[in-house]
Every structure is written in structure tokens, then in C-alpha cells.
Chain A
Amino acid sequence: MKVFVIDAARCVGCHNCQIGCKDEHCGNCWMPYAEAQPEIGQFWMKVEQKERGQKPHVKVSYTPRLCNHCGNAPCMRAAKDDAVYRRDDGLVIIDPVKAKGQKQIVDACPYHVIYWNEEKEIPQKCTGCAHLIDDPEQPIHTPRCMDNCHLDVIQFGEAEDFDLTGCEVLHPEYKTDPHVYYTKLPKKFIAGTVYDPEAEEIIEGATVTATCAEGTATATTDSWGDFWLEDLPDAQWRVEIEKGGKKAALEVSTLEEDKGLGDIPLA
């Protein structure tokens, strides 16, 4: 069974995977695997980016997203005439001929990774570059997104060749058995810079304790006065900062977004 394993934490947002996918499929017809992708508007591989935090504690997470080639694929169920099928290697393919006119295939995907081609009236999505895998005459035999990645963030292969322990999938609650695994998906953070307003000095070694209903996270401020509480669940937190008897306490929510708390005076 083929799987994708994506180490999103190491993704740097170069979009080479997204470009490679377009380069392979826009204007190139790989029937019977896929009709040509329109030049713009479809993203069979898309780098999803999200700006997180507030000045000066700002990060951007990049998450390459593609068809999950689900073991329990809603698109297959929605399709008539076996227009969506699973290959022996696990890749889920839309048959462009059989799928003509079947817009419900697009709507069936909870991940929104199937696109409707208005002109050809077909649903389209990632094929895992099955045409490259199958054809010995082609110069490469891996998905283009993987081939274009300079950091090996995206890997593709047999499930048993990977250690999938601790890996996550997007939206497990959809219960579609995705075959795209993420080594680690982005989680929330709370960060800040702690300083002494009187001395106009940062405070190193302050203990920061964040508590929510589900538990506690702790950090110590570094030589910049900074703390980064990372990999936090979405929750309502009480953040307490302490050094040498000086204290500060803040109510912080990560329910909606990450929190960069800026410069926090400890008086």
C-alpha cells in the first residue's frame, strides 16, 4: 500500500512541490490517468500557509496538502460507474472518461482536494503521478511533488517502509482512513519577551507556566528574555511568569489562534 509521509515541520514554503505538480499536469494530458489540468485554479498539491502569532513572535506554518488517497474514500462512494477506483497499490484515481459530468465527486470530498474542470466537465485531482510510476519510459518514477522537494519533506512509498508511529493525518474525525501521513502537524504556541521595565533589561531565567484544563506547559526565558511554549492544544490558558519574586499573570486563549504576547513587563 502506497502512502505519502510529509514532514511538514521542515517545510520551508518554497512551493516547489506545488510547482512540480503544475509542471507535470498543466498542459500535459496523461490519459488514461488524467486529463490535462487547467493552467490555473486547481491545486492537486497545495502548500497551505498560515501566519501565526503577533509581532515580534511570528511564524508561518506550511502544510503541503493533496488528495489523501483514502482507504475509505467518500469520492469512490459518490462516483457512479466505478468512475473513481483504487489501484492495487492504493492510489485512488478518477477515470476522466467515466467521471464526465459527475460533479458530485467533487462535493463528496471533505478535504476539498477534488476540483471541477468546467471546460471538460470532469472532476480532477492528484493521481500520485501514477503515470510516472507505471511507465518505464519516463525518466522518473516518483510523484513530481516529491521529486521537486530539496529537503525530502515529501516522501512516497510502501507503508511498511516507513515508521508511521506518532504520525498524524488531517482531520481524523472524517474517518476516511487517509494514506497521507504527517510526521507532525502544526500546533498552537504562546510566546513572549519578558523584561524589567525599570532596569530596561530582558529577564533571563524566568519560569513561565501555562495551565489549562488539559494540563500544564512550562518554559524558561532565554538570553533574549524569550519563551516559546509550543505544541499546545487549543485551550484557554493562565500564563504565570515568575523570577526573583516578581510575577505576572495573563489569561491567554489559543482557541482561535497562536499568541505572540510581545514584550511583557515583570515588575
Chain B
Amino acid sequence: MKEIKTTLQSIACGGTGGEITAVDTMDGKIVRIRPFRNDTAYTKEELAPSMWKIEVDGKVFEPTIKTCPNWMALAYKNRVYSKNRVLKPLKRVDWEPGGDPAKMNSANRGKSKFVEISWDEALDIVESELRRVIDTYGPYSVICIGEDGHRESKDLHAGGGMHATLMDKLGGYTRETRTPDSVEGWYWGAKHVWGAGANKGLGLVAPQETGYNSWNVLLDICQHSEMLVFDAGDYELTTNYASMFLSQVMGYWEKLGKEMVCVDPFCNYTSVCHTMKWIPILPNTDAAFHFGVIYTWLTEDLYDKDYVETHTVHFDKMVDYVMGKEDGEPKTPAWAAERCGVPAWTIKAFARNVAKKTTSHVHYSSGSIKTPYSHEPARTSAYLLAMQGLGKPGVQQYHLSAQVTAKEKIARSTTAPFTMAIQCRMFFPSAQSLPRTMIAEALQTGKAKWWGSPCIVYVETSEQFQEFNYPGNPQAALAMEQAMAERFGKPIPTEAPKVNRIHLLWSEKPCNMNCWDGGFNYQDAIRTDEVECFITNHQWLENDSLFADLVLPVTTCLEDNDDMGASSQVPVRHAGLTPPAIEHQGESLSDFQIACTIGERFGVREDIDKGMTDDMWIETAFQSSRLVEEIDWETYKEKGYYYPKLEENWEQMAPGMRNFYEDPEQYPLDTPTGKIEFWSQALADNFPDDKERQPMAKWIVGGPAEEGWTHDETFWGERCKKYPLLVTANPAKWRVHVQGDDIKWFREIETCKVKGKDGYLYEPLWIAPEDAEARGIKNGDIVKIFNERGTVLLGARISERVAERSVVIAKGSRVDPIAPHLDRGGAINLICPGNQVSKHCKGFAVTGYLAEVAKVTDEEYEGWKRDYPEAFARDYDPAIGINRKSWVIEK
């Protein structure tokens, strides 16, 4: 038989890597992708210093020898060989470079198809367009989209800032800043309660004295917590990020008999299969629920008074609000029940259970943390923990940046990889920038104003009080260029650069319309002549790329010679080499190679690749890492992976917020007072008139725009009369955000898609039986969800797992445009609000908003087919859905 070759890979959908996964190939083709035995290259004795063990009540939890890749990694063959891969550069058929509106056909973006072109032609276009835009408007008219964020797990070859690295060599660029997507509420709200938090900025609680790293939280929970509250944590879903580890954690908690409660509009994938109490709650009403709980604690004396006295400030102001002294309305459990849909008796039971049992909160970035006014439920969540003695044994927040089980000696943080060869320019300030949430507005109105960079990590909380504007100020740009030149010992420029509006969009993560907010409006903005050229680099022909003028083909992580380990949400973190399992598919290049290749046209290639080969980069990354303290290059190269050794006394390190709990004076928070602030003087001083994010969390309903409100997305305003359902748009189980919607082995799983009577596999609309019946909707019906922002088609899945008056749609299904503001693909973020979290908080609000649902009538469906025949005539393969053939004109 032919020889099987095995390479080790870290297949995941983010920059923190994935579990070691073995990829077997034969004759240059992938045979299988499978778990790996970590004792293959090391003996058990050699591994022992790197492996943790938790023992509670005689029950042991430790990493298994066999690694635990998730279903995304295990099905990755589908992604590599997808019919949707971009194999050659693509040019939109009716777009001509040159910036002439008559030849751009901007309005056809997302409608007209593509033709394959050679790399030479593609490079000619990229070069000429960049030169033209730079000469005409200046380099700041190029916006580099897709800084950081979710992509494949790659290092040197990663996308998400290689275009910015190149543009930096060409004089600058407008930086698109990623807004704090997974942590919006924590970022805009909780940071003003308990400080900057994880990675100094995310707002998920973390101690300052460890460089904002929460270690040993799992150990503390296993040892001391009696109960766990999952309020936006779905571990049997979010395991799709890096490994199955959190599923193994669930099994151990069950074995230890931990009581578990899930407060969620959806009986989520964790709740349905574990011993867990589900409390259905209306979307984005968590603040009301929490106030009902706090009322019970206050009136029944069920909170840690001493802690509140010594560790917090302005508690009295919150008490006045909850007891109704401020507005005459006590926030009783009955008051809360009316708003959140949870019966008063259950709110009281929750309050007493949490108070009487040592309770930690599990959070994993969905639910109310991504809603309109998300700063409110995030702050009330922080209040709950504060009132129960945050940091006390077993009272912690177990969040996405607190999931390293045992600290390694050479660890830099709870999330950073052990080696970094990545050359993407991320988190660098630029003289002109735009939050990702405001690009559409900037294109449509020519201006934008916001507060805070909003850089998601390593940023002072007080930066949120700083005003920023687009277009940027040329003098400020000059000052920044001068400072950078001085720092790097280059000639100091004296003339202010041209700073103009953006006209060339270049994206290395082309999914803004689907990952971010206000998608239909984003499409509108791209369809204008303001955008003279839109380039995307991507592996697959999907989402924003369908609206591009030029699409450059990118390798998948199994095709690059790279290094990548796993530094988050795996049983044991590792550093690893990931040599190519197979050849590049088609003519694809990595984002690094694309930047180098284009750089060559401008004579700056050497500034990017430094004249080094991949192997040299990888070795350099190793040599400049702390791995050298434990293993030499030759051994590392031979073995291919390495598990750094644990701190010898890792178990003795203060878990989570323990130091603050024990001694708040010596280990203060980085809030202005060093304590937990129920009411923030800083917010009061900086935004005295902000009625949406006040100095203290409140139940905020919002209202009409003319009265100065950003949102009217609740059952207590006007819009609900027209749009009476609240949307929960959670991360998807059978994708990671937008990645993997074409995986055919997932698409035939019944919770992944719903087959319509037209044979199209629609994204499921999860709807409660009562709400379906009221609308005459049956299982499997083609339905539409709509509000004034547009209409998205879905397939009905009637389920008891959904709270009444709400619907659940997993976010990230690919867009499949029928017409402007009408989409068949199920990309739910197309109809989410596009006006951010609140007045001063320009993050996104992508769940917890209003819409209505109706069955699509035959007449309506036939009408669309008649009016938009091209959309319905595109090639469609139910196995993978829309694909390259749907959009590429074959020669």
C-alpha cells in the first residue's frame, strides 16, 4: 500500500490556535484528520512536568493522552477541498479599474459575477489601483479591513493585517479597528465597574497585578464552587473554537455534582444534554432579571455586606435605584418578571440559590453582552458578583480569557501563543482610523465621530472618554508620522500628508456584512461610487467577497509552511510546527505571500519578508521566544511540538480575583478608586448627559431617535408593535461565526439547516410552538424574518428550546443576495441594528433586537423569482450551498 504521511496541525478559527491534530495524507491528498497521541514524540515521564492534574473529592481530572480536536477541525477536509474555494484571482466582470464611475458599475456589486484572471493581471490591477489612489487622494484613502480577529489559525502566513504591513511601507493607510465584538458589554460597561479586565481591555474581570491574567479559575471552581450560572455560556457549542476541552470540563463538573443553571433565551447545546436547570429569559432583559435578584438580596439580607463595605464604592446609589428611591419604582421580582419573562418565584429562587451556594459565573460571549445597550446587563452581571464577594473561594467569572488550567513557566498571558512569526500589522495606531461599525456611515456621509479607539486590548479605560473623528486631521497625521520616523531612526517628514476620505477598500477578512452589524446598510455603502475599488483576500468565495471587484485566492492553514500552537481553550497549551500537509490549492498564496508579491511591484518586498525564507522566519520566531529556555531548536524541529513546563507551584498561585478579595488595598483594581464602582464618577464627569449609559447600570428601554435614543429594541417602545419578536443571534454550532457554512457533513445534520420545499437548505429559524402557530408556520416552511432594515429568508424549526416571543437564528450563515435588502442565505446580521451599542459606545449590537416573522407565500416567492431571475438562476448545490460556480462565469 502507498505510504501515509502525517503532519501535525493546529486547525482552528482564531489567532490563538487549536488542539494538536494529525493530518494523514497519501499521494498529496488528505486521507483523514484525527486526534493525536501526545506521547508520540515524548515519553510520559517527559510530558509529566507539563501536565496538570486536579483532584477534588477523590475524583481526578487531567488531560487525556489523546488530543481532543473539535468537529470543525475534524471536518476540515471539506474546507480545504470545498467547491467554494477561490483557486485563481477573480475580477468582477463589469468593473474596470481607474476610478471612472461610468466603468465601475458600483451598483452591481453583489449582483454581477466574476471571471478568473491570471495573477499577473491581478497584480497589474492591484498595483495600478494602489498607485492611482495614493497619487490622487493619498495613501490614507486605502482602508485596510480585517485587523486581527477570527481567521484560520496561522502564524507567519496569517491574514488580518498583512495589507496594513504593506501599506505602511507605502506611506500609510486608514486603519479599520476591530470593535470589541465578543465582549461589547464588558468593554463598554463592566470596565467602569471593575476595571480594564482581561488583556487589559476586554472588560472580562482579571487582576491587575498579574498583568491582567486570571489564572487557576478552573481549579478554584472545581475546589470551591457549589453552583455555576451559565449566563451566555454554551460550552457544547463554543468548543467549536479550539478544542473539546470545555466539554470535558462539563463532564468533570457533573461528576463533582456541581449544580448548574442556564439563564438563556435558548435551551442551549450545553443545557440540553447536561444536568442543568434552564431558565428561559427574554433576550436582552438580563438587567431587569438581575435587579429583581438584587432586590431579593437586599430585602432578605442575602449578600456579603462586609465585602461591599471594604471592596466597593457607591453601593448606596444602586440600592436607592433598586429600592425605587430614585424613580419611585422598586425593582421587585414581580417588576423584573414582567420585563424578563421569568416568573417572580423563579427569580427569587435564583437569588436565594446563588446567595446560599458558592457560585461562579460562566460566560462565553453571547447573549446580552452583544445587544443594544449591552453595557447595562454587563454592569448588572458585575454587580451580582460584587455582592457575593467576587474573588472569594469559588466566586469567580470563568470567561474566555480565564481558561488556562495551569500556568506554564514561560507563559506570557492566558491567551498569547508561545511563538509569534506573524507580520500582520495589528493594534498599531494610524493617523486615520475607523471603527468597523462605522465604515458604512463614513462612506455614506463622509464623516464619523466616536469615543475610544476602540482598540479591544491593551487600552486604558479612560480612552473611552476621548473623541475621535473621520476624516482625520493632516497635522495630526504628520505628528504621528514624525513620531514614528523618530522612533525608527528614519528621516523626519515635514509636510503634512494628504488625508482624504477612503476610496479603496482592501479586506483580509471579508465578512463585515455578516460578522458585524447592519449588514444590509454595509452592502448599500459598498454599492456606491465612493468605493472605487474593493479588493478581498480570501480562501472561499463568500460574503463580502461577493461584493468585491477583485478577489485574491488564499491558502488554507493546511497548505502553508508555518508554526502555530494553541494558547487558549485547550487542555494543555502547546507550541508546534505546522508544515504543509498538502500543496497550495489552485494558485492560492498566503496573505503574507500576497503582501510580499505586491510589495515587489513597489520595491518594498524586502521590507516585508526581510529576505528570509519561511523556515528562517519560523526558526527566528522560535529563537526569539521563551521556548529556548526549555528546548533547543533541533529537538523542537525533530519532535514538531512541545508542551511548555508548568510552574512548579502553579496550584499555589492566587486564583482569579483572590488577591483583590483578600487585600483590596494591596491588590487594587485599576478603576479610579481601585475598588468596584457601582456608580462611576468618571462616566458622570465625562458624559454627564448620556441617558443611555449613565454612571450606574439601569433598566434602559430606549425610545424614538428624535428624542435622542439610539435604540427602540424592546417590548416597551413603539417598534415592537410592528416587530413583536426579539431576535437571539447566537454563535453557530455548525460554523465558527462565518467559517464553515459550506461543510457538507454539517449541513446534513438536522440542527444545521432546514430543507425548504424548493430544495434549498435554509438557515434554521428556531421558533417556539406558540409563536409559530400564531403565524401559521409549520416545521420546514420557508419563512422570512424582517424589520425596516430588510428581509432574510430562513427555514422554520419549531422547538421547545426557544423562549416565547423570541426567535433564535445562529449568526454567520453566508449571504446569498436576491436583491438589495433581501437575502436568501440566512445571514441574520444583515438586519441587526447598524447604529452601535449606544450614543458613546460604537461597538456592535447584533442580538436582542426586534423583528417579525412570516411564512413566505407561494405568490411572494414566485414574485421574487420573476423579479430577480438571476439570483434564482445561480448555481446551487444543496450539499454545500452557494459555491464558486454560482458566481464565476466559466470561460
A20 touches B280 (CB 8 A): no
User: B277 — nearest CB in chain A belongs to which residue?
Assistant: A224
Decide: B4 and A51 in contact? CB cutoff 8 A.
no
In contact, B745 and A19 (Cβ under 8 angstroms) = yes
**Which of B247-255, B424-432, B592-600, B629-637 forms contacts with chain A?**
B247-255
- Min CB gap B140→A, angstroms: 46
Instruction: Name the segment of B66-74, B460-468, B516-524, B881-889 touching the other chain.
Output: B66-74
Interface contact B349-A224, CB-CB below 8 Å? yes
Closest Cβ–Cβ distance, residue B442 to chain A (whole Å): 42
A263–B345 Cα distance when bound, in Å, is 10
A54 to B271, CA, bound (A): 14
Q: Are B68 and A150 in contact (CB under 8 A)?
A: yes
B890 within 8 A of A: no
Contact of A62 among B273, B343, B345 (CB under 8 A): B273
B879 partner, pick from A14, A39, A148, beta carbons under 8 A: A39
Cβ contact of B236, chosen from A12, A20, A23, cutoff 8 A:
A12
Is there contact, CB below 8 Å, between A58 and B272? yes
Q: Considering the chains assembled together, what is the distance between the CA atoms of A178 and B439 in angstroms?
A: 61
Contact among A24, A60, A201 for B272, CB-based, below 8 A: A60
A113 to chain B, nearest CB (A): 16
Instruction: Give Cα A260 to B769, complex, Å.
Output: 14
Given A39-B744, A201-B345, CB of A13 within 8 Å of CB of B273: yes
Chain A 117-155 per-residue mask, 1 if CB under 8 angstroms from chain B, else 0: 000000000000000000101111000100110110000
Q: A183 to chain B: closest CB distance in Å?
A: 15
Q: Is B333 an interface residue (CB 8 A)?
A: yes
A137 and B345 contacting across the interface, CB-CB below 8 Å: no
Report which of A16, A24, A54, A147 forms a contact with B70, defined as CB distance below 8 A: A16
CB of B873 within 8 Å of the partner chain: no
For chain A residues 24-44, which have a beta carbon within 8 Å of chain B? 24, 26-28, 39-41
A56 to B35, CA, bound (A): 36
State which residues 555-585 of B face A: CB under 8 Å.
none
Q: Tell me if A58 and B70 are in contact (CB < 8 A).
A: no
- Verify if A115 is at the interface (C-beta below 8 Å from B): no
Q: A139: which B residues are within 8 A, CB to CB?
A: 4, 6, 22, 24, 34
Contact assessment for B800 and A53 in the assembled complex, using a CB-CB cutoff below 8 Å: yes
Which B residues are CB-close (under 8 A) to A68? none
Which of A41, A139, A144, A150 has most B Cβ within 10 Å?
Answer: A150
User: When the two chains form their complex, are residues A55 and B803 in contact, meaning their CB atoms are under 8 A apart?
Assistant: yes
Task: Give a binary string over B820-852; 1 marks a CB under 8 Å from any A CB, 0 the rest.
Answer: 000000000000000000000000000000000
Question: Could you tell me if B244 and A14 are in contact, using CB atoms closer than 8 angstroms?
Answer: yes
Interface residues in A, total, Cβ within 8 A: 54
The segment from B112-120, B145-153, B649-657, B748-756 found at the interface with A is B748-756
B247 interface neighbour in A39, A51, A137, A150, Cβ under 8 Å: A150
The residue of chain B having its C-beta at the shortest distance from the C-beta of A199 within the complex is B345
Please tell me if the beta carbons of B801 and A13 are within 8 angstroms of each other in the complex: no
Q: In the docked arrangement, what's the CA distance between A10 and B344, Å?
A: 33
B: interface residue count bin = 35 or more
Cβ-defined contact, B748 with A40, below 8 A: yes
Asked whether, in the complex, the Cβ of A260 is within 8 Å of the Cβ of B239, the reply is no
Quick check: A13 and B236 within 8 Å, CB to CB? yes
**B345 and A59 form a contact (CB under 8 A):** no
The SS class assigned to the B binding surface is: mixed
The answer on a CB contact under 8 Å between B800 and A202 is no
Selected from A60, A138, A200, the residue in CB contact (under 8 A) with B273 is A60
Q: In the complex where A56-B280, A148-B34 touch, is A200 in contact with B345 (Cβ < 8 A)?
A: yes
Distance A22 CA – B76 CA, assembled complex (angstroms): 12
Q: How far is the CA of A24 from the CA of B334 in the complex (A)?
A: 56
Measured between beta carbons, the chain B residues less than 8 angstroms from A54 are 800
Contacts of B751 in A (CB 8 A): 49
Task: Note all chain B residues with C-beta closer than 8 A to A15.
Answer: 71, 746, 749
B349–A223 CB distance below 8 A: yes
Choice from B24, B74, B277 contacting A19 with Cβ under 8 Å: B74
Q: A12-B236, A193-B346 are in contact. Are A148 and B74 (CB under 8 A)?
A: yes
Is A195 in contact with chain B by the CB < 8 A criterion?
Answer: yes
Q: Is B75 an interface residue (CB 8 A)?
A: yes
Tell me the minimal C-beta distance from B748 to chain A in angstroms: 5
CA distance A23 to B660 in the complex (A): 49
Min CB distance B228 to A, Å, is 14
Minimum Cβ distance to chain A for residue B743 (Å): 9
Known: A14-B70, A51-B801, A56-B267. A202 touches B345 (CB 8 A): yes
Cα-based distance from A225 to B66 in the complex (angstroms): 41
A84 at the interface (CB under 8 A from B): no
Is there contact, CB below 8 Å, between A40 and B348?
A: no
- CB of B420 to closest CB in A, whole Å: 28
Contact B344 A200 (CB under 8 A): yes
With the chains together, A204 CA to B278 CA distance in Å?
Answer: 17
A contact residues around B271 at 8 Å (CB): 58
Interface check B352, CB cutoff 8 A: yes
B762 to chain A, nearest CB (A): 17
CB of B1 within 8 A of chain A?
A: yes
In this complex, the member of A18, A41, A263 whose beta carbon has the largest number of chain B beta carbons within 10 angstroms is A18
Q: State whether the Cβ of A226 lies closer than 8 Å to any Cβ in chain B.
A: yes
- Whether a CB of chain A sits under 8 angstroms from the CB of B77 is yes
Cβ B77 vs Cβ A226 within 8 A: no
* A73 interface contact, C-beta 8 A: no
Residue of chain A at shortest CB distance from B747: A40
Contacts of A58 in B (CB 8 A): 267, 271-272, 278, 800-801
- How long is the Cα–Cα vector from A38 to B749 in the complex, in angstroms? 16
Q: Counting CB contacts under 8 A, is B33 at the interface?
A: yes
Contact among B31, B236, B349 for A225, CB-based, below 8 A = B349
Write out the residue numbers on chain B whose beta carbons fall within 8 Å of the beta carbon of A202: 345-346, 348-349
In the complex, the answer to whether B32 meets A23 with C-beta atoms within 8 Å is: yes
Q: Does the CB pair B247–A151 fall under 8 Å?
A: yes
Bound: A37/B269 CA distance, A: 29
B75-A23 in contact (CB<8A): yes
What CA separation (Å) do A135 and B1 show in the bound complex? 10
Q: A114 within 8 Å of B by Cβ?
A: no
Q: Which residues does chain B contribute within 8 Å of A150, judged by CB atoms?
A: 35, 64, 68, 244, 247-248
Q: Are B349 and A23 in contact (CB under 8 A)?
A: no
- Of chain B, the residue at the smallest CB distance from A28 is B31
Q: Are B273 and A59 in contact (CB under 8 A)?
A: yes
A223 and B353: CB pair below 8 A?
yes
Residue of B nearest to A132 (CB): B32
Question: Which residues, 321 to 337 on B, are CB-close (under 8 Å) to A?
Answer: 333-334
A223 to B353 Cα, complex, angstroms: 7
Partner of A23, one of B77, B343, B350: B77
B473-507 near A? 1/0 per residue, CB < 8 Å:
00000000000000000000000000000000000
A12 to B106, CA, bound (A): 48
Q: Enumerate chain B residues within 8 angstroms of A93, measured Cβ to Cβ.
A: none
Contact yes or no, A137 B4, CB < 8 A: yes
Q: Does B385 contact A (CB under 8 A)?
A: no
> Measured between alpha carbons, how far is A9 from B352 in the docked complex, in Å?
30
Contacting residues, chain B, for A148 (C-beta < 8 A): 34-35, 74
Indicate with 1 or 0, residue by residue over B33-72, a CB within 8 angstroms of chain A CB atoms. 1110000000000000000000000000000101010110
Compute how far the CA of A67 lies from the CA of B599 in the bound complex, rounded to whole angstroms: 57
Q: When the two chains form their complex, are residues A23 and B272 in contact, meaning their CB atoms are under 8 A apart? A: no
Contacts of A151 in B (CB 8 A): 244, 247-248, 251
B residues near A, CB below 8 A? 1, 4, 6, 22, 24, 31-35, 64, 66, 68, 70-71, 74-75, 77, 236, 239, 244, 247-248, 250-251, 267, 269, 271-274, 277-280, 333-334, 343-346, 348-350, 352-353, 356, 744-751, 768, 799-801, 803-804, 879
Starting from the known contacts A20-B34, A144-B34, A150-B247, 11 additional A-B residue pairs (CB-CB under 8 Å) come to A13-B236, A14-B247, A22-B745, A26-B745, A27-B77, A49-B751, A59-B273, A61-B273, A139-B4, A223-B353, A223-B356
27 A-B interface contacts by CB (under 8 A)? A11-B273, A12-B236, A12-B274, A14-B236, A16-B74, A19-B71, A19-B75, A19-B746, A22-B745, A23-B32, A23-B33, A28-B32, A49-B750, A54-B800, A55-B280, A55-B768, A56-B278, A58-B267, A60-B272, A137-B1, A139-B22, A148-B35, A150-B247, A200-B344, A200-B345, A202-B348, A224-B346
